[in-house]
Amino acid sequence: MLDEYRKILVTGGAGFIGSHLVDALLSLGKEVVVLDNLSTGENLSLRVKLMKGDIRDIGQVVEATKDIDLVFHVAANANGTVSVNNPQFDFETNALGTFNLLDAALQAKVKRFVYVSSASVYGIPQHFPIGEEHPTKPFIPYGASKLAGEIFCRAFFHTYKLPVVIGRPFCVYGPRENPKLALVEISRYLRWHLNHKPIQIVGDLERKTRDFVYVSDVIQGLLLIADCASVGEVFNLGSGEEISIRGLIDIISSITGRQPIINVISDITEDTYRLVGDISKIKSLGYTPSISLSDGVKHLVEELGEHPQLPKGSTIFKRDQQMRFSINFD
């Protein structure tokens, strides 16, 4: 696999998804360079060359891309709450940072550029399951900045023939998520539950659904699109399975054997929407999600132990932000 590529750059390689990708590349015998400012990443492998630097700085990005055959651009502000509170920071990191990587990759004549985007680009989904052709109407700055990155990827592909492919992960979970952030419901919920604290649930228990995908499956998808996807294409990276928050709580409770205490914050409704990806396109490249939700939750419970660190940040939808979401662009 990835036989054409000798030296690989992973931006954000010390983070949650990036560090699993780095491990997979090392196990394929690849030479890996990581460009990361270590702002949220805490999982740097000792077997890679770290270029501690910032993707917002074009000089550092050009330096990191020298002699690189393949770029996985993973670094980003992945935190929706931060994007709501500081949209300029989010824009500079995600949109400008991606532009810098594309520009430097073009100069370096890389053989392939894989952009890790996000299912957040779809916004509030309109039909299900969500295929890659679903309209992209992000509703928070994070989704907008990830989409801006995609739009520049397409422009660099069409204008300069930069060989770009795009992956859109859904809700990724698994070991090594930054404990303070714990962005995705599964690790947030488990961190409260394993500490015997109430699980804080934003949105409607029955109507809010998500497509949770184990991190090793996302890595499988990223390697596949780097290896054999046609350039210029975009791929959903999910499990293809839809589960309600109630269903997730039931799985957590059956695995821990403990009755969860839940606190539903029902007056915050913006997070109540269905989310499930159509993964037939990535499946056509040989992708098979291999970790079921109950197995994934089981692994994570073992990994977290009895009293894991509690999440620090709040969730995206705060009451004082609702005014900003009530604008209708249609």
Ligand X SMILES: NC(=O)c1ccc[n+]([C@@H]2O[C@H](COP(=O)([O-])OP(=O)(O)OC[C@H]3O[C@@H](n4cnc5c(N)ncnc54)[C@H](O)[C@@H]3O)[C@@H](O)[C@H]2O)c1
**Residue 15 within binding range of ligand X, rule CB under 6 A:** yes
Q: Which is nearer to ligand X, 6 or 56 (CB)?
A: 56
Q: How far is the CB of 102 from ligand X (least distance, A)?
A: 14
Q: Which residues pair with 214 in a beta bridge?
A: 173
Q: Which of 9, 12, 174, 234 binds ligand X (CB under 6 A)?
A: 12
**Residue 202 within binding range of ligand X, rule CB under 6 A:** no
Q: Which is nearer to ligand X, 12 or 125 (CB)?
A: 12
Q: According to the 3-state scheme, what is the secondary structure of the chain?
A: CCCCCCEEEEECCCCHHHHHHHHHHHHCCCEEEEEECCCCCCCCCCCCEEEECCCCCHHHHHHHHCCCCEEEECCCCCCHHHHHHCHHHHHHHHHHHHHHHHHHHHHCCCCEEEEECCHHHHECCCCCCECCCCCCECCCHHHHHHHHHHHHHHHHHHHHCCCEEEEEECEEECCCCCCCCCCCHHHHHHHHHHCCCCEEEECCCCCCEECEEEHHHHHHHHHHHHHHCCCCCEEEECCCCCEEHHHHHHHHHHHHCCCCCEEEECCCCCCCCCCCECCHHHHCCCCCCCCCHHHHHHHHHHHHCCCCCCCCCCCCCCHHHHHHHCCCCC
**Residue 40 within binding range of ligand X, rule CB under 6 A:** yes
Q: Residue 77 phi/psi, 5° resolution?
A: -80, 115
**Residue 185 within binding range of ligand X, rule CB under 6 A:** no
Question: Which residue reads 């651009």 in tokens?
Answer: 73
Q: How far is the CB of 6 from ligand X (least distance, A)?
A: 23
Query: How many residues make contact with ligand X (CB under 6 A)?
Result: 31
- Burial status of residue 144 (CB atoms within 10 A of its CB: 0-12, 13-18, 19 or more): buried
Q: Which of 2, 8, 9, 55 binds ligand X (CB under 6 A)?
A: 55
Q: Which is nearer to ligand X, 47 or 258 (CB)?
A: 47
Q: Which of 14, 182, 229, 275 binds ligand X (CB under 6 A)?
A: 14
Contact range with ligand X by CB under 6 A, out of 11-19, 103-111, 158-166, 185-193: 11-19
Residues of this chain, 231-250, that bind ligand X according to CB under 6 A: none
Catalytic, out of 5, 115, 122, 142: 142
273 in active site = no
**Residue 18 within binding range of ligand X, rule CB under 6 A:** yes
Q: Residue 245 corresponds to which tokens in the numbers above?
A: 């928050």
Q: Which of 17, 84, 165, 229 binds ligand X (CB under 6 A)?
A: 17
How far apart are alpha carbons 22 and 68 in whole angstroms?
A: 15
Contact range with ligand X by CB under 6 A, out of 171-179, 261-269, 287-295, 302-310: 171-179
Residues of this chain, 64-93, that bind ligand X according to CB under 6 A: 74-78, 93
Q: How far is the CB of 119 from ligand X (least distance, A)?
A: 6
Q: Which is nearer to ligand X, 6 or 58 (CB)?
A: 58
Terminus-to-terminus CA distance in the chain, angstroms? Answer: 45
**Residue 54 within binding range of ligand X, rule CB under 6 A:** yes
Q: Which is nearer to ligand X, 12 or 221 (CB)?
A: 12
Q: How far is the CB of 2 from ligand X (least distance, A)?
A: 20
**Residue 277 within binding range of ligand X, rule CB under 6 A:** no
Q: Please choose, from the candidates 245, 278, 247, the residue with its C-alpha nearest in 3D space to the C-alpha of residue 264.
A: 245
Q: How far is the CB of 53 from ligand X (least distance, A)?
A: 6
**Residue 104 within binding range of ligand X, rule CB under 6 A:** no
* Contacts with ligand X, residue ranges (CB under 6 A): 12, 14-18, 36-41, 54-56, 74-78, 93, 97, 116, 118, 146, 169, 171-172, 178, 183-184
Annotated catalytic residues are 142
